[in-house]
Amino acid sequence: MTTTLDSVRGLTVLITGAALGMGKIYAHKAVLEGAKRVILWDVNAENLEQAATELRTLAAGSTNETAIEPQLVDVSQASVVVQAAQEVLANGTPDVLINNAGIVRGKPFAEHTHQDIDLTMNINASAPMHITLEFLAAMDQGTQQRRIMNIASAAAFVSNPRMSVYAASKAAALGWSDTLRLELQAASSNIAVTTVCPLYTTTGMFDGAKPARLTKLLSPEQVTDAAWKAMLKGTPILVIPRMTHAARALRGALPTAAWDYLAENAFGIYSTMKSFKGRTP
């Protein structure tokens, strides 16, 4: 039975995409709460080392003795994930797994390459499955309350031009993540699964994207604060902002032509990616 965690003090936290943006913010939170180990997975060696140095400084300046463990991991490769997970498990089991890594290719589907499709689906949809599969059996042992948090997107709910593959990947992530939650819940597991579905966030990943009417761009702090609290509590699904629920309801209730008209002309959803630039490499 799931109970609320007060914090991650004394626990092992593993975060993917941990060298930048919200991944690094989650790592900061883990250090400040006194996690025993914070394991950082990222594919960018330079950013990873910078993040590890920053987090070690943060840990040294507090009363916590947090071990910072960076690992260079390309989560798009299942074989690499398996090897990296074995290295982690050799030193203990993660108590909190945050599948945060993600990419976006914001352009019409016809302009995608096969590599764009494979990389987006591998990182956003397949990687959380492969990673979780490697840790699930170990995490499901004992009585310690554990957590899996998967970062999906509001794009999983509403179709949007120039986001076809990204939306598909996040819809897959949402479907898998919430089904995993139900399976673990039915088995009375000690693991609670939280799926986070935010709108555009100002991390750089969605530079140039515009918010739909009645919404605004979210700050990384808004999303990570809400997601962290939801994870500790074991909240099944977190949708940010709540206005997204209205769009989901309308899309389900209205005829397609009526919804398309509202989405384009009333809410401006279908135009939000027209000026998309994305993060500069």
* Residue numbers annotated as active site: 166
Q: Which residues pair with 193 in a beta bridge?
A: 148
Which residue in 128, 127, 108, 110 sits closest to 118, CA to CA?
127
Q: Distance between CA 247 and CA 179 in Å, rounded? A: 22
CB atoms within 10 A of CB 232: 20
Kindly report the backbone phi and psi dihedral angles of residue 31, in degrees, each rounded to the nearest multiple of 5, phi listed first. Answer: -65, -45
Owner of token pair 């509001």: 154
The CA-based angle 29-227-185, given to 5 degrees, is: 115
Owner of token pair 């997970």: 85
Which residue in 209, 225, 226 sits closest to 217, CA to CA?
209
